Amino acid sequence: RLMKPRIIVTRRWPDAVEHILAERFDTTFNRGDAPLKPIELKAAFQAFDAILPTVSDSLPASLFPESDSRTRIIANYGVGFSHIDIDAARAQGIVVTNTPGVLTDCTADIALSLLLAVARRAGEGERQLRAGEWAGWCPTHMIGAKVTGKTIGIIGMGRIGKATAKRAHFGFDMDVVFYNRSKVDDEETRAMGARQLPTIEDVLAEADFVSLHCPGGAANRHLINAERLAAMKPGAFLINTARGDVVDQAALVAALESGKLAGAGLDVFDGEPVVPEGLTRLENVVLLPHLGSATEETRVAMGMKAVDNLTAFFDGKEVPDRVV
C-alpha cells in the first residue's frame, strides 16, 4: 500500500496496543475522557477507513452513511457487538470484527466473583465494616447462602458460559443445567458435569443461581422479564455479565424488593453507565462497572485481536474474527 489506512480509536486503549496501531496505521486517538458524540461517530464514516469502537460507542443505523462510506471496516474492541447495527453495516458493505476467545476466562472469573460476593454478602459486609458499624463476630451475623453443591443455571452456553460452568462444577461442586439455542455436543456437556434442558423455564425451575451468557440486542431484549423472574426458585440469585438489555431492570428491582430473589450480581446495565437508583439503594445486590474483561492481559489481547483483524483486512487477507 502507498498510504497507511486512516483509522480512529474511540477510547484510550492499553499503551502496548496503541503503539502498534500508531506504527501500522495513520491513527487518530480520542484523548478525551468521554466517548465520542454520535455526531462525531457519524462524521468518522466519511473521514476514516476504519473505526475501532467499544461497547460505549453505540452505532445505530442512523449514524451509518446512506452511501459512499469511507469506512470499510469496524473493528470492535470486545466480543459483544450488539451496540453496532450489523444490518446497516452489511448494507454498506462494511466489514465488522470482534475479539472472541481472549476475554473468556476473565469474564467467567467475574461471573464467579459476583456469584460468590452476592451469595456470601461480601459487598454488604464490606460496607458495614468500612462504615464502622461492625458490632463483632456473632453466630448469626450476616448469614449468607452456601454456594458449594448448589445448582447453577447457565443461559447461553458459548465460550464464556462453558468457562463459567467449569469453574462452578469443578471449583464449587455445583450441578450445572443450561439452556442454549442449539444443541451442545453431548460429550462436552458431560465433561462439564452439565445437563442441557429444552427451555429457559426448565433451567429457571432448577437453578439456585442463574447466570446469563447470551448476546444482547433485539433478539434477547428482556429475555429475563417479570414472568421469567417469577419462574425462578424463591430465594434464587441472578448473575449478569452479558448485556444489560437481556434483563428487564425494573422487573428485577421488583423481584429483589419483594424478596422473590435473594440477590443479584450485575456487571452490565441497560443504558450504561447510568445505573437506576432502584438498584443502587438495595443491599442484596453486587454492582460492578462492566469489569468482565478488565485485566491487563485480556485488554492487551483484545487490542491485539483488533490489530490482527485490521492488518489482515488492509492486506487483503482473510479477516480472522469477521462477524459481518
Q: Which residues are catalytic?
A: 243, 272, 290
Residue 118 sits in the site that holds ligand 8YV (CB under 6 A): no
Among positions 63, 73, 103, 214, the unique one binding ligand 8YV when judged by CB under 6 A: 103
Q: How far is the CB of 270 from ligand 8YV (least distance, A)?
A: 14
Residue 232 sits in the site that holds ligand 8YV (CB under 6 A): no
Distance from C-alpha of 167 to C-alpha of 186, rounded to nearest angstrom: 19
**Cell, residue 107:** 469474564
Omega cis (within 30) before 273 = yes
Residues 20-59 that bind ligand 8YV (CB under 6 A): 54-55
When the beta carbons of 16 and 129 are compared against ligand 8YV, the nearer one is 16
Residue 209 sits in the site that holds ligand 8YV (CB under 6 A): no
Distance from C-alpha of 302 to C-alpha of 165, rounded to nearest angstrom: 23
Residue 102 sits in the site that holds ligand 8YV (CB under 6 A): no
Residue 293 sits in the site that holds ligand 8YV (CB under 6 A): yes
When the beta carbons of 53 and 153 are compared against ligand 8YV, the nearer one is 53
Distance from C-alpha of 8 to C-alpha of 72, rounded to nearest angstrom: 12
SS3 content of the chain, % helix, strand, coil (to 5): 40, 15, 45
Q: Which range, of 62-70, 77-85, 144-152, 270-278, touches ligand 8YV by CB under 6 A?
A: 77-85
Nearest residue to ligand 8YV on Cβ basis: 78
Distance from C-alpha of 322 to C-alpha of 171, rounded to nearest angstrom: 34
Distance from C-alpha of 194 to C-alpha of 186, rounded to nearest angstrom: 9
User: φ and ψ at 252, to 5 degrees?
Assistant: -65, -45
Which helix (H) or strand (E) segment is 27 a member of? strand 26-29
Distance from C-alpha of 153 to C-alpha of 111, rounded to nearest angstrom: 12
Residue 78 sits in the site that holds ligand 8YV (CB under 6 A): yes
When the beta carbons of 196 and 293 are compared against ligand 8YV, the nearer one is 293
Residue 160 sits in the site that holds ligand 8YV (CB under 6 A): no
Binding site for ligand 8YV (CB under 6 A): 54-55, 77-80, 103, 290, 292-293
